[in-house]
Chain A
Amino acid sequence: MKLVCFWLRRKLSPYLDGEIPSLKAEKIKAHLEHCPECQTKLEELQGLGRHLRQIQTPQPSPHLWENVLKRGQSRVFREDPGRDRRFLTLFRPRLALPLLIMGAFIALMVMLIPELSFLRQYSLIVNQAQAIDIGLYLDELKKGPSARTFDQKHQAFTTSADQARRKCHFGVVIPASLPGGYRLVQTKLLKSLCCFATQNDYRSGENIIYVFELPPQHPIDFGRRELIRKMMNGLWYNQIKAENLQVMNWEGSDVNLTLVGNLLEEELLKILKYLTQGKPGQFHSYSQQKGGE
């Protein structure tokens, strides 16, 4: 067998099917005219194709459709296939990515937009954690000029004499007998001011809540800085009348805290009314109790 014939016989099949470029087909045709062996081979292949096409195919059973129905009855026709398919289309790859991106966008919006904070249920926990930090900070302040302070940036306590000059604006004594206890006020404070610390008096069972000044660059702000400034400059606690409230005297302490004890009763009620969002009854009872003592 010649080399040309060897090469050509591999191309006979596509040549027979008309799937060879015209230029090559012309060359093969020219060769076939002069090569009886290759010509026989081609006829052989053509004959096989004819044999295949001559196989008679019987008619399918007239009940084929019924049989398809019967086969599928248990699997398909009892349900609404359209509905199922519409549901399944959600999982198509071309829809999955846009849905994922949309989900990520909504999550980002919830995180960033303050108005959507109601969707962030965990924000209170974060605030509580920060409030605990402030409590620790206050405790540290009481230790003196060399007190360590909690550094938000490095998430650690650092020593700084400047930090010891923070001002505490006022303190509120919450008696143990108050309905709801100090935790209620603490929660309200958390929601409104977000800058307080608590101290527990183990002997009397009373709890003192300190509201104090925020450092200029303090990360805890939540838009309440302005409110605190108003409280500081206003008349709420300038006119001191020490009757019903316990005076918190920290003068013996090394820390230079401006104590704001002896608030006027009505001023305190005003603050507490604000803090408790319209539930001053509990503080009335406190006031009455105090007054009764």
Chain B
Amino acid sequence: MEEISPSMHLIESANYRTGCLLEKELIQRCQRGDQEAFREVFKRYQHKIFRLCYHFAGDGSDAEEITQEIFLKMYLSIGQFDLRSGFYTWLFRIAVNECLQHRRKKAARKVPLDERALSLSVRETLPLDSLLSHEKQAQVQKALEKLPGKYRLALLLKEIEGLSYREIARIFGVSEGTVASRLNRAREQFRRVYQKEVRES
């Protein structure tokens, strides 16, 4: 195994610092109302946010709608953001709140679940190899949608985004113990619902 030289570490560290600095500068520009900076932030985070929203809503158009709202809320409230805290966590907190709010609105409208799962527009954009396991993906997505909103988001943040318990705790504003118990229950519930889906199909 090739050993990384100390100089490589230094370069990585310097890049990391530069990245942080650039992001801080970018956020400051956003706070001054710079639209170009806002677009840059949007470019950086749109895929991550969209992915979370897509997995949460299970529908491309819904995910787009939630993503738009998240970035709009980010722009409106970026003046309140404290530069000393992590922007990533702050943005995901907005995303989580927006997802939960969207779910409440959706529940009020009572749209049937089957219509939401994997809309046509999304299927068209999927690559060919993934279409083979489309049925399985639909089962996973359906099982995911049957989880309570907070469990679903905790599971997505852990499994898809790969965040630590501490980061998830900051996003939800709860303790790490609560995150651990929430994830434990989410996994257990997800396992039961998924097995049921598989049996039914």
Contacts and interface: CB of A to CB of B under 8 A. Distances in A.
B50 A81 contact: no
B140 A80 contact: no
B187 to A, nearest CB: 5
A221 interface: no
Majority secondary structure of chain B interface residues (helix, strand, loop or mixed): helix
Question: What are the 10 A-B residue pairs with the smallest beta carbon separation, nearest first?
Answer: A85-B79, A82-B33, A58-B125, A13-B184, A56-B130, A60-B50, A81-B33, A52-B159, A57-B51, A58-B122
B142 to A, nearest CB: 11
A49 B144 CA distance: 11
Majority secondary structure of chain A interface residues (helix, strand, loop or mixed): helix
Contact of B50 (A57, A75, A76, A82): A57
A187 B75 CA distance: 61
Contact of A72 (B75, B133, B156): B75
15 contacts: A14-B180, A48-B187, A49-B159, A52-B55, A54-B137, A55-B140, A56-B130, A58-B122, A64-B46, A64-B50, A64-B64, A81-B79, A82-B79, A83-B33, A85-B31
Given A45-B187, A56-B130, A81-B75, A13 B180 contact: yes
A14 B194 CA distance: 21
B69 interface: yes
A58 B187 contact: no
Contacts of A58: 54, 60, 121-122, 125-126
B87 interface: no
A28 B137 CA distance: 32
Size category of the A interface is: 35 or more
Size category of the B interface is: 35 or more
Contacts of B136: 51
Of the candidates A54, A61, A88, A89, the one having the most CB atoms from chain B within 10 angstroms of its own CB is A61
A7 interface: no
Interface of A: 10, 13-14, 17, 19, 44-45, 48-49, 51-61, 64-65, 67-68, 71-72, 75-77, 80-83, 85-86, 88-89
B184 A14 contact: yes
B79 A89 contact: yes
B42 A65 contact: yes
Nearest to A63: B64
Given A19-B164, A57-B51, A60-B47, A13 B67 contact: no
Given A44-B191, A68-B42, A77-B35, 18 more contacts: A10-B184, A52-B155, A54-B133, A58-B121, A60-B67, A64-B67, A64-B68, A65-B39, A67-B64, A67-B68, A68-B72, A72-B75, A75-B76, A80-B33, A82-B32, A85-B79, A88-B79, A89-B79
